[in-house]
């Protein structure tokens, strides 16, 4: 592809492109979505690596210690998904933690009660402070609970792969536009 034919695609431009072309041919958009999700996979894999690299002070190696089905880090990494979301305000690829799957595979997810989705967000630092009781100590004194440090992983992984994803998005849009032009000429 020559430099002149490359298009700079912004988020709003892609949303408008998606909304305006979704009525033309579903197959063309399905191919574009597939290419975009494929382009987002390296960022999702990077996020999984970053989650698994978070330091842990768990004592699950002790004999007789309670063992969750999966550790918190492994549960979050297993639940990182790449999807495509389109609304009136936005259209694009989404890398997220599937909180329903997280609750099923993690004992930690079950302990959060009706706030199932919050634990991965605490770890990622999207919720400001993560305080928790230590069993047997200060259970009824939240002001004395330790503050768990956050370890941002999603945003860092996306930022690391942003330039290559933007290039892939431009290529996907170019392919879709070429297919639309080809379809109109036939």
pTM: 0.74
- Rounded average pLDDT over 10-35: 76
Cα angle 173, 155, 39 (rounded to 5 degrees) comes to 30
- The whole-chain average pLDDT of the chain stands at 77
pLDDT of 59 strictly over 70? no
Q: What are the structural domain ranges in the chain? A: 11-56+66-129+143-185
The mean-pLDDT minimum among 46-55, 77-86, 172-181 falls in 172-181
pLDDT tens digit string along 96-127?
888 888 877 765 544 545 566 677 877 888 77
- Rounded average pLDDT over 63-71: 61
Under the banding of pLDDT at 50, 70 and 90, the label for residue 4 is very low
pLDDT tens digit string along 76-97?
899 999 988 877 777 788 898 8
């Amino acid at each position: 592809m020559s430099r002149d034919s490359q298009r700079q695609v912004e988020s709003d431009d892609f949303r408008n492109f998606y909304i305006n072309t979704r009525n033309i041919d579903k197959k063309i958009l399905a191919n574009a979505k597939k290419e975009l999700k494929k382009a987002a996979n390296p960022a999702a894999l990077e996020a999984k690596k970053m989650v698994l690299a978070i330091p842990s002070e768990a004592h699950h190696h002790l004999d007789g210690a309670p063992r969750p089905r999966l550790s918190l880090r492994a549960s979050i990494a297993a639940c990182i998904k790449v999807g495509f979301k389109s609304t009136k305000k936005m259209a694009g690829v989404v890398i997220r933690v599937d909180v329903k799957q997280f609750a099923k595979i993690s004992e930690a997810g079950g302990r959060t009660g009706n706030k199932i989705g919050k634990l991965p967000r605490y770890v990622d630092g999207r919720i400001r402070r993560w305080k928790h009781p230590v069993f047997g100590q200060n259970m009824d004194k939240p002001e004395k609970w330790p503050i768990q440090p956050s370890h941002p992983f999603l945003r860092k992984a996306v930022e690391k792969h942003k330039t290559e994803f933007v290039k892939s998005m431009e290529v996907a849009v170019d392919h879709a536009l070429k297919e639309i032009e080809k379809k109109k000429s036939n």
